[in-house]
Structure 1
């Protein structure tokens, strides 16, 4: 078995796969919220690539800082993700209710993509802190997180896009409610 030959136990491999899937599901769920707003295929690819990159960078930063400030920073990172999602979701709801007179969160701008990718990926920073304390295989961990985050965000954005055509003008409000709900869950 190649996993055992490389020094990695089956339990560690399964744990990393489960963590990567869980972080990917977060990107999937939040991707549905943005997809409900309506998104072009080109923007799906760009946004998912940025999310994938953030799903590599954030746990890497977490792993390197995990041995120093694990418990304090883990809670701060989760709270920051919650606040960002509350703000994004609240703004989307507000924009959809106000109509064209209100400026909407624009996921197509560089700032919008970075803000969304950060809010989706910040919880992987917390996971990275934990993995840093357990001396997990850094390269394998961040690659799994990046692949799962990117693929699952593509699937979520595509699903949200498909559903948004059925919801019409209420799609942005529904997406905002999803993001707002996840923000509340992060803070609870």
Structure 2
């Protein structure tokens, strides 16, 4: 795989994380760059690790993982999205403020949900001539950049939508999950 193809692959793998990051940023109170970068680094690290895991699995059990990866991603993102919608719709007193940052667990679960497709890509990369370490590093770097930008954009959405920004974030996560699921289902039946 040539370097241009690897870079395009890296940014393609970061698009769903970017969309999820906008939702995450929307649910924060005025996200600072340091929080956006922290979120980007967590997403990027997980997104870099999952193709390595996929590559290892690809050497042994590709058919099993490919059959279920899109369902796992969909269910994780659906659950997180529904929770965010619930939080956005429940009554808020004016005293309760949005958090300045998300917990490590919340960010990691969202990142895991958006990185399942990278694991599937890692499985595919196991069957072609590619340096998996370079590919995983590029995917992680692209995701870090895109998620950092997404969280900052999400802060603008938050300023426009107020408490309901969390509903937007939840709907975004669910949409990303549906997009992942429908992409795999469409490929299966084409």
TM range (shorter): 0.7 to 0.9
SS in 1 for 2:126: helix
* Distance in 1 separating the partners of 2:56 and 2:69: 15
For structure 1, the residue ranges without an aligned partner over 5 or more in a row are 1-10
Alignment of 1:133-152 (within 5 A): 133-152=127-146
Alignment of 1:149-168 (within 5 A): 149-168=143-162
Shift of 1:172: 0.6
**Are 2:77 and 1:85 aligned?**
yes
Query: Which stretches of structure 1, 4 residues or more, deviate above 4 A after TM superposition?
Result: 104-107
* Distance in 2 separating the partners of 1:72 and 1:44: 35
* Distance in 1 separating the partners of 2:170 and 2:180: 15
Relative to 1, partners in 2 of residues 1:109 and 1:126: Cα closer, same or farther, differing over 3 Å?
same
Moved more, 24-33 or 68-77: 68-77
**Are 2:31 and 1:37 aligned?**
no
SS in 1 for 2:91: helix
* Distance in 2 separating the partners of 1:75 and 1:47: 29
* Distance in 1 separating the partners of 2:173 and 2:119: 19
Relative to 1, partners in 2 of residues 1:105 and 1:95: Cα closer, same or farther, differing over 3 Å?
farther
Give the corresponding residue for 2:102.
108
**Are 2:62 and 1:53 aligned?**
no
State TM-score, norm by structure 1.
0.85
State TM-score, norm by structure 2.
0.84
* Distance in 2 separating the partners of 1:15 and 1:79: 27
* Distance in 2 separating the partners of 1:138 and 1:187: 25
* Distance in 2 separating the partners of 1:130 and 1:106: 39
Aligned partners of 1:88 and 1:105 also within 8 Å: no
Greater helix share, structure number: 1
Give the corresponding residue for 1:69.
61
Aligned partners of 1:67 and 1:132 also within 8 Å: yes
**Are 2:2 and 1:12 aligned?**
yes
* Distance in 1 separating the partners of 2:3 and 2:60: 25
